[in-house]
Chain A
Amino acid sequence: MSLVSFSYLFLFLPAVLLVYYLVPRRHLAARNAVLLVFSLGFVFYAEPGSLFTLVFEIVLLYFLGRGIEKSENPRTRKTLFAAGIVLTVGLLCYFKYTAFAVQNWNALFGTSFSWKALASPVGVSFFTFLAVSYLADVYHGRCAAEKNPAALALYISFFPKYTQGPLTRYGAVAPELTARRESWDDAAAGAERIVIGLGKKLLIANACASVANEIFALSAGALTPAKAWIGAFCYAWQIYFDFAGYTDMAIGAGLLFGFHLPENFRDPYMAVSATDFWRRWHITLSQWFRDYVYIPLGGNRRGRARQLLNILIVWLLTGLWHGASWNFLLWGLWFALLLAMEKLWLGKLLERAPRAVGHLYAVFIILLGWVIFRSPDVQTIGTYAAALFGGTAARADDAGYLWLTLRQYGAPLLFAALLSTPLGKTALAALEKTKPGRAVRLVLLLLVLALSLLTLANTSMNAFIYAQF
């Protein structure tokens, strides 16, 4: 179930709010039970088969977590931890990567093994990472194993963050599972985040998607350099406002129930380097890879060569996490190379250069990265990249196309450009300081809500990009 769907906004969310708040505040366990039942229902509604995998994983996680904590034998603890990692990650690999592996094996060795791929459970990439972090945190003593299986189940399956995050840590969420106080202020902030998220997705991301989808579908014969750049910019905005919109809605829904989910974005397109970009983009994923892969591999503590190898491993895994396909692997490799260069020499050069140079560099490499990410195969990456730099024989009709695009999508593209900077947040915060400002702010947000609902009623293109990962 998409957070931008009629089923969610007009059926699921009001139902869960109603039942949740019918339970008296003093019965937090019962309120949690309501959230758990609805969350499992959310997963079942999205894809019934996914529920079985999820429940299996929760049961596994519960017993392994308890086993690790109870055992005093380091060897047993280690075995249980390793078993947990192998099983959870194995499940992810089975669903997500087996077909890709078989396909490449066949291509490499000329064999003809066949593999009937099962549909990946909804949210498998996200709940696997939650499971790994939970087991690791319990194993390393960073948090206690959850004694209440229902609480653990709610942590894993909590519906706002289930399909696309943000990726949470058990230690951060656990206190709110056992003692939280829902407040009007939180609920008001939550509603505001949901409205802003709806606007980002429906009014900006979808408009950018219309342009990007058309351009990325063009053959080499029609892809001119101007169109290629427009497509790259529009996709960059699409994926940002799509994912940031979802995150706003997830954080907002969490606040309605008193949960404070972590932020995932910090104006990523204001970055001045690849390193800086990954501190601002999908922050919870970057932190996860840092804490559960990069640092355990040795991080930067074992010399420069090992650090570069660790960066390569982390970024190949980051690419693969997004999908079983060569373009994602290449995208990971692209950032591994950039980050390695920045560690070796480029970073110092950028630090000394004017900030604008860093911005230009970052925007350039991020756009190229998104071209790799968005292309369905390696050949398309080559064609598209060639078109960006003039290596195309495409018939040009760019002036008309540009004019049409501006007339049709000028407003959302302008907002995309402006809101990719801190301007939007700064303006909203400034408005909050005075009474007339607050009235203007309210009117603006109500307008966003009204326009979003009108758009929702009139379009069907509301799937989120990150829902497929």
Chain B
Amino acid sequence: MKKSKLLLLAFLLVIFLVPALTAAECLLAPSGWSVYENRALASVPEHSLSAVLSGKTADGIESFLKDHLVRRNLWLKAYTALELDVLHSPVVNEVAVTDRALLPEMGVSDYDDSALEEQAAAMAGSLAKIRQATEENGGVFLYVGVPEQRSALRSLYPGWMNSNAAEWDAREAAFSKAMAQAGVPLLLMRPVFDGTGDVLTYYSAVDHHYNLRGAYLTYETVCRTLTDMGVPLTAEKMTVTGLDNPYFGTYSRKLYGLSPIREQLLVGSFADEIPYERWDNGERTDAPMTELPATSAEPVYYTAYMEGDQGETIVKTGREGLPKLLIVGDSFTNALETMIWRNFGEMRSLDYRHYTGESLSDYIKDYQPDVVLVMRDDTSYLSTAGNGGLK
């Protein structure tokens, strides 16, 4: 049967024009960075003999073509718009799109209570050793557990979509019990946030972190808890303002700027300035605690706080009479650090996902901090990766 030549023509046009236009764009307007994904695009594939023979070049070509496809953002946006506006998919690019927040798709809950208890006991055991090392060096140890956005805003998932709430609760229960049994001080922030009656005020609707108000509430609560533990601290008053810049959170950027929910990145200011010196990963830096964009059009990310994740940050204020703080954890510490450093003569922060120096026990021995805060989100309580493998 005779077939239409128009489809053949369209097909040939696509397979010849796309690579030609891609090549032209690569030559005339090369791009190395994806704003929405906040990542570097694939570079020109390695083409040494060993790379060719190992198949690395072939993999590199595929990644390069995919990343540098002509008008790539347009393709990605068109697909996202189709899912969002035409198909009205409840989950778009792995993001559950709800009326009030963008949340990660959770899949089917699959966990085992007894396995959680075993993992919790092991985790509490290793944290007890860190507490012991802290106290042997004259300090106070506190573990701060903050809910991740998906856990904090669990009630925003539609009723027919799994929010994983049962699993987060089971994890938290197993962890709290094990920490109590091991005698490790634990501050759980979830009841504190729930107690406000409006968790969304403290959490980003488009990112997996809390917002600056959430960080501030955590700061206040940590100060009160440490005061109760014998380290008197008072939270400083902070004024919060929102930036007009487009804010790309973990989930809104997955929607390539088509998020139906908009949000501002919050920045804080204090009544008085405290001079400080800062080192990131051993290098002296003049970076501010919160990086402000040069223009109001520039996109901003959660990485504005403390310049994002750093292996080691040292902030010295020269106020010798104040206590020394060591804070260990994932990116949730970044926003907290922008305020809590003000209460200490020196603050150091470690992120073992990036820090490759000595173990935490050895670090404590060398640094002799007055306060050690380990801070993790509730989805990571039992994870031994990165900051969960403290020794």
Residues of B within 8 A of A227 (CB): 108
Give the distance to chain B from A289, nearest Cβ to Cβ, in Å: 32
- Check: B4 CB closer than 8 A to any chain A CB: yes
Q: A6–B62 contact, CB under 8 A?
A: yes
Q: A7–B61 contact, CB under 8 A?
A: yes
- Check: B53 CB closer than 8 A to any chain A CB: yes
A-B residue pairs, 10 tightest by C-beta = A188-B3, A6-B65, A400-B160, A222-B110, A457-B75, A191-B11, A191-B8, A458-B79, A188-B8, A454-B79
CA–CA, A404 to B162, complex, Å? Answer: 9
Q: B110–A48 contact, CB under 8 A?
A: no
CA–CA, A71 to B3, complex, Å? Answer: 48
Q: B79–A221 contact, CB under 8 A?
A: no
CA–CA, A432 to B14, complex, Å? Answer: 24
Q: B112–A219 contact, CB under 8 A?
A: yes
**A404-B160, A408-B91 known; A218-B55 Cβ under 8 A:** no
- Check: A449 CB closer than 8 A to any chain B CB: yes
- Check: B379 CB closer than 8 A to any chain A CB: no
Q: B58–A195 contact, CB under 8 A?
A: no
Residues of A within 8 A of B16 (CB): 14, 18
**A6-B69, A214-B108, A432-B1 known; A457-B19 Cβ under 8 A:** no
**A397-B109, A400-B160 known; A7-B55 Cβ under 8 A:** no
- Check: B28 CB closer than 8 A to any chain A CB: no
CA–CA, A13 to B161, complex, Å? Answer: 42
Residues of B within 8 A of A10 (CB): 15, 18-19, 22, 65
CA–CA, A1 to B57, complex, Å? Answer: 12
Q: Which of B15, B58, B61, B90 contacts A9 (CB 8 A)?
A: B15
Q: Which of B3, B61, B75 contacts A192 (CB 8 A)?
A: B3
Interface centre among B22, B79, B80, B111, by most chain A C-beta atoms within 10 angstroms, is B79
Report B61-101 CB contacts with A as 1/0, cut-off 8 Å.
11001100100100110111010000101110100000000
Chain B residues with CB under 8 Å of chain A are 1-8, 10-12, 14-16, 18-19, 22, 52-55, 58, 61-62, 65-66, 69, 72, 75-76, 78-80, 82, 87, 89-91, 93, 107-112, 159-162
Report A186-229 CB contacts with B as 1/0, cut-off 8 Å.
01111110110000000000000000001101110110000100
CA–CA, A133 to B76, complex, Å? Answer: 46
Residues of B within 8 A of A218 (CB): 108, 110
**A45-B58, A185-B2 known; A7-B65 Cβ under 8 A:** yes
Q: A399–B11 contact, CB under 8 A?
A: no
Give the distance to chain A from B348, nearest Cβ to Cβ, in Å: 39
CA–CA, A458 to B53, complex, Å? Answer: 29
Known A18-B16, A190-B8, A222-B108; further 13 A-B contacts with Cβ < 8 A: A17-B15, A46-B58, A188-B8, A191-B7, A191-B12, A195-B7, A217-B110, A399-B160, A442-B7, A445-B7, A454-B78, A458-B75, A458-B79
Residues of A within 8 A of B75 (CB): 453-454, 457-458
- Check: A56 CB closer than 8 A to any chain B CB: no
Q: A214–B107 contact, CB under 8 A?
A: yes
**A7-B61, A408-B89, A458-B75 known; A453-B66 Cβ under 8 A:** no
Q: B7–A219 contact, CB under 8 A?
A: no
Residues of A within 8 A of B72 (CB): 457
Q: B160–A442 contact, CB under 8 A?
A: no
- Check: A455 CB closer than 8 A to any chain B CB: yes
CA–CA, A217 to B75, complex, Å? Answer: 31
Q: B58–A188 contact, CB under 8 A?
A: no
Residues of A within 8 A of B89 (CB): 407-408
Give the distance to chain B from A335, nearest Cβ to Cβ, in Å: 30
- Check: A118 CB closer than 8 A to any chain B CB: no
Q: Which of A1, A47, A401 contacts B162 (CB 8 A)?
A: A401
- Check: A438 CB closer than 8 A to any chain B CB: yes
Give the distance to chain A from B51, nearest Cβ to Cβ, in Å: 10
Give the distance to chain B from A304, nearest Cβ to Cβ, in Å: 45
- Check: A305 CB closer than 8 A to any chain B CB: no
- Check: A356 CB closer than 8 A to any chain B CB: no
Q: A219–B14 contact, CB under 8 A?
A: no
Q: B7–A400 contact, CB under 8 A?
A: no
CA–CA, A5 to B64, complex, Å? Answer: 12
User: Which residues of chain A (78-134) have a CB below 8 Å from chain B?
Assistant: none
Interface centre among B4, B8, B11, B111, by most chain A C-beta atoms within 10 angstroms, is B11
CB closest residue in chain B, given A451: B82
Q: A411–B10 contact, CB under 8 A?
A: no
Give the distance to chain A from B389, nearest Cβ to Cβ, in Å: 25
